Amino acid sequence: MNIILASNSPRRRELLAENGVKFSVVPSSFIEEENSGLPPEKYVEFLALGKAKAVFEKTGGVVIGADTIVVLNGEILGKPKDENDARAMLKKLSSNSHEVITGYAVITSEKTINSHETTLVTFNNLSDSLIESYVATGSPLDKAGGYGIQDGFPLVSKIEGNYDNVVGLPTAKILQILTELK
């Protein structure tokens, strides 16, 4: 089976590789549009499907697309525009619970599977100095919500759901789909 990951995300590549999946990477040319009033779950499914379709049209095979968003009280927190935006996001998330929603799409010539997984994440009370130290690493700038759970900073107090989903890919679900395709 020719499996292609339609993503440049090093975290998604690591998650698949750690689970023994043999795959190649073809970054998607899909351009994200503004959310046209879709609920967060449908929006992230739309993004994942768009990424997967763009690659499938070029390559065929089995294409996996994914997109992750952070949702706090109904507000979608994407990737920060700059360090100030990252600080503001982390302050909003401090001492609060939010949803991390990853939309995924698996496309083959026979079928398309498009859904999402949601994980509830609760943050510790973040001090200004912790936020400054974390933002100084540069890591928050390329992550939805301005944070990576895997970065080793004491940001999170509790997770309800799939850890890998928070990293960027619900691997158990993807592995189940790939097994069923064999």
Residue 164 CB neighbour total at 10 angstroms: 24
Nearest to 77 by CA among 99, 56, 59, 62: 99
Residue 21 vs residues 11, 143, 157: alpha-carbon distances, Å: 14, 24, 31
Give dist(CA 165, CA 123) in Å, integer. 16
Nearest to 126 by CA among 89, 180, 166: 89
Catalytic residue from among 67, 85, 128, 164: 67
Strand partners, 97: 122
Give dist(CA 158, CA 121) in Å, integer. 6
Give dist(CA 163, CA 160) in Å, integer. 8
Residue 67 is among the residues annotated as catalytic for this protein: yes
Residues annotated as catalytic are 67
